[in-house]
Amino acid sequence: MREIGYITQEPTLLPWRTVLGNVELGLELNGVPPEARRAAARQYLEFVELAGFDDYHPKQISGGMKQKVALARSLVVEPRVLLLDEPFAALDAQTRNALQEVLLHVLARTHTTVVFVTHNVDEAVFLGDVVVCMTAQPTRVGKSVEVNVPRPRDRTGPELNALRKELLVFLTEERLKARAVAEGTGLLPPATEAGRSARIHHGSGAE
């Protein structure tokens, strides 16, 4: 029904509407009749494992459940592209992992194209088909890696561990470059010789 869906780090649910009412919102704004939008909203709540929570309000559910509602609300309008801006960053590790699995389950059904922004390398290699890393200064695409690991993926398997290491080496090098630039322009105080030696040794080891 629309081209782009968007989910932020905060669920941004309407507190006066129920879970079902929040998921229906986009369909309601698009003029979908009540019976049809209610049926669609319930279907997507089932997809995100929230069947039976129709009449709850946001204050009655957990942070992870709120993000599930936000996901259902964005997907029910059938966007071609879904933009996710660190949607799981504020959640604990266990809930975060669970929501990653839910996201993959839903996307396997909908085949929606997703652009997922995250600072978490583990999350990137577990979810992504392609991981794009940005440089520090100036900000641009610095590295792009295809994740040719079939699903379901083992988070601790050797393939993902190798990719994780490759990306962490790149990001560490970028951080050291940015630090060197900042020191050279006077934005940071000069490093001590001991500190500088430690960073050079760390950078050499990463290579």
Condensed to tens digits (0 to 9), the pLDDT of residues 146-179 reads: 999 999 999 999 999 999 999 999 999 998 888 8
Report how many domains make up the chain: 1
pTM of this prediction?
0.81
Residue 182 pLDDT level (bands cut at 50, 70, 90):
confident
Provide the CATH number for the domain around residue 112: 3.40.50.300
Alpha-carbon gap, residue 87 to 115, rounded angstroms: 11
Tens of pLDDT, residues 37-67: 999 999 999 999 999 999 999 999 999 999 9
The answer to whether position 11 is within a domain reads yes
Asked if residue 71 is part of any domain, the answer here is yes
Residue 107 falls inside a structural domain? yes
Confidence of residue 100 (pLDDT cuts 50, 70, 90): very high
Query: What's the CA gap between 84 and 78, in Å, rounded?
Result: 15
The pLDDT of residue 129 is 96
Confidence of residue 72 (pLDDT cuts 50, 70, 90): very high
Single-letter code of the amino acid located at 150: P
Q: Is 140 part of a structural domain of the chain?
A: no
What percent of the chain clears pLDDT 70, i.e. is strictly above it? 88
Position 192 in a domain = no
Q: Are strands 4-7 and 141-146 parallel, antiparallel or unpaired?
A: unpaired
The domain of 12 spans: 4-117
Mean pLDDT of 69-87: 94
Would residue 132 count as lying in a domain? no
Average pLDDT over the chain, rounded to whole? Answer: 88
pLDDT of residue 137: 76
Can you tell me the mean pLDDT for 67-75?
A: 94
